Structures are given as C-alpha cells and as structure tokens.
Structure 1
C-alpha cells in the first residue's frame, strides 16, 4: 500500500496501517487511506459517513503531521464517532454484497428500463438491416402507429407511445436515417479492413445519372478473400460520389479523395 514517509524516507506501513491487538494479534486498518496528491492520510469511513463537523482532521481535510500521526491515528480509531461511522461502513459493505441497499428498487427499475430499450433498439436495427439487405424502402404515407404488431416487445412499445407514456420512441424517420448512416459506416470500415488484408484488389468506377439528372460515380472494389486454403474473389460496393465534372482528371481526383 502507498503511504506517507518520514524525514528519513521510511514508510509508515508497518506502524500506521497495522494495529496490534491484545495477545499480539495484528489487523489492517482498512479504513485508513493515503492521498499521494495531497500527501495526507484520511479516515475513509468518517470522510464518507460523518454527519456535521468532524472532530478531527482525519475525517475532514486530512492529516499530515507525520511526527504525531501514529498517536493521532490510535486516538481516532477508539473515538465514538469513528466507531459509529465504521459500523455504518461495514453495514453498507455487507448490504452491497447481498444486493440489499436502500436503492435496490430504483436500480431494478433502471435495469428493467435499460433492458427494455435495448430490446426495442435491437428490433429497429434488425428492421433497418433487413430492408437495406433486400433493397427495400421505408414506405408509408405517414408515421401513425397502429396496433397490428406481432412482436410482444414492439406491441408493448407502441402501446406505451399511443397512451402518451412515452414521447421519445425511436420510430421516426430521423432515428431511422441515423441508424442507416451508423450501420453503413461500420460496414464500410469492415470492408476497408478486409481490402487491406487482401493486399490485391481492383477498383471499378462507373458514372450514372439519378432521377434529378445528378451525375454519380459508383465505387466498387474487387478483392481476394482468404479463408483457410480457399481463395475467392469478392466484389463490394463502397460509395456513391457526386460528380460535377466527368473528365478523366476530375474523376481521378474524386477517386483519390474517396
């Protein structure tokens, strides 16, 4: 354990952190802690559990009189305030181990709510991935929620929304677009990682017009996929790049930027 040193550079660990009981039995002063930054010792249980003004520096601002620290520690550990606070500390430690603290109910509610939102987000992400994988659009003339849900989690989620229990539901187009962007970024990172591992790859660039007559350059990469003793050629789409000039020089610049 780290601890203060005397003027001769000797650590007080033997005398300061250990208490000798009757019959020469020794025990650790677990409540005594040392701040390396402040160069002071503190009583942990008194610092945490004390009420009102502390009667000594050990339970408040800390103690750093190294000539008298051993005597002061011995006096402190037999004081009524210290014994009371130490019992509170031991009782709290015991209840924490048994998960019987006073905020157990609040923690259980928090954990239940956290797990609930985790299940909701997992389903929303699954829907986004399914539609993207099958090249399907998020179709609908409005964002009104209906009660025709087969999944029990989503059914409960919709019920909580329609009953005004929830105002943030993660079912709108904003969160959908954000999830699509985040998933796309992670997929792109994974593809780039595989391409770097392959070492050998080729880039295919092709330009096409969209419905608004905006020129787009499609970037596709072909690379080797190494799997045990098998080698296969994979082809992956990486990105669409807006093109304002279709000359070879401009396309090369856009490629290098991408």
Structure 2
C-alpha cells in the first residue's frame, strides 16, 4: 500500500490554500519571470517564508528547461544530528509520496531503495526542515509529474563531503535536476551578515573551498557542506556559480546591498552553476 505523508508547514512559511499559492506565484511571474531558459540543472535556492523568497524561487523555476527525469532536493539539517546514536549523516523519508496543497509528488523509490540504506530513513528531519516543502510546491506547480529525491544532510568535514559526493555520483547525471537549499548568511547583526554574504558570493563565484572558509568563520551559510559535496561530483566537479538574485528585508536585487534600518537580518540568494 502506498504511504503518503502530508506537508505540515503550510500557514507558517506558505499558504495552505491552493488558489492563494497559485495567485502568489502568478503575481511573482509578472515581475520576476526569467527572460530565458538555462541549460543548467543545478541551483542554489533559499529557505524562508514565501513573503521573502518566492520571487527568487519563481525566477529560477521559470528558467529551468523541462528536460530532466527526477529532482534531487538537498537541504542541511539546522538541528544537526537528531539521533546521536545513528552512524549516518544523510537521511531520506520513509514514505512513497508527499501530499502538498498543490497535489501529490511521488518520491523516486528506485533511487532511494538502490542508493541509500534502510537505516537512513528518518521522517523527523523532513518534519523539522521546512525548506523541502517550500520547494515541493514549485516543483508540483511547474513540473507536476516529476519524481523527487529529498535528502537531508549533515556535512561538516571533507570526508563526509567526499563520501556524499560518491553517493551522488551513482544517480546524479545530465537528466537530474538538483536543487540545493541554502541561505547566504545566518540571522545576525546586519553588518556582519552583509560581510559574510559578500564573502560567500565571492567564494561561490571563484570556486573556493566552502567548508574551509566556514571553519575560519569567514562565511556561515548553512549550505556550505552540501554545496561542497555537489562540487566534488563528476557531473559538477570544480564548477563555479553565477549569483542571480539577492534578497534582504524584502529588497531584491542582482547585487548585494547593505541594510541600515535593522539591527539583524539574513540574506537570501539564488544561484546557477556556471558552465565552465
């Protein structure tokens, strides 16, 4: 019997009403719809309330060509390892499909069963991390029949990053859309957040080693580990990024801007892998 899980973060990060969600997307398209399609199948996208990040999501999703078979969604665990007794740092859902306000998305059970261990199944991570659900809705809206592979990852060092890349190598190919959920900075003093985001953007554009910069406290993006892992795969080895849009305090631009009217803030961005 097919096991279907329901989303739980509606009315917190996004509306629960189907028509309201679709109206929000359509309104964003009027201003932020991409001017052209990209050949890229690897993107960094933010997580937060749709109030702040939906323009970035819509801009990216309207740039994606419908020439892929499955969507791999990778997000970090902000709580770290929930079960300290587990030997694993990668987790996948146990269910077969997710029921969103826009309809049901099927998980790619072939990938999940063939490439992950049974003990890696832990639904708690996907209940705690709203970032998955924020992307599910856009996938369902724009690419309704695609299967998904959600992965919650804790990548803290080079070995974990290399091991994760080895797993990704077994199923990430040129017919796979990969979405990485990551914010450019943590929520902190606005001046420090600006500096960390600026450093993060430079690191992405110059293919620098994110985990090393994170350990030195030069950057503090929650996605350092997962980004470091994907850049180690044979599909995307040593590629750099192009930053598309940056959001802070509801201001959206193609370049980073300082905010002086708040004590604390977080920067969100969208980025596309560069074909170099």
Place the TM-score, normalised by the shorter chain, in its bin: under 0.3
- Structure ranking higher in helix proportion: 1
Greater C-alpha radius of gyration: 1
- TM-score norm. by structure 1 comes to 0.19
- TM-score norm. by structure 2 comes to 0.18
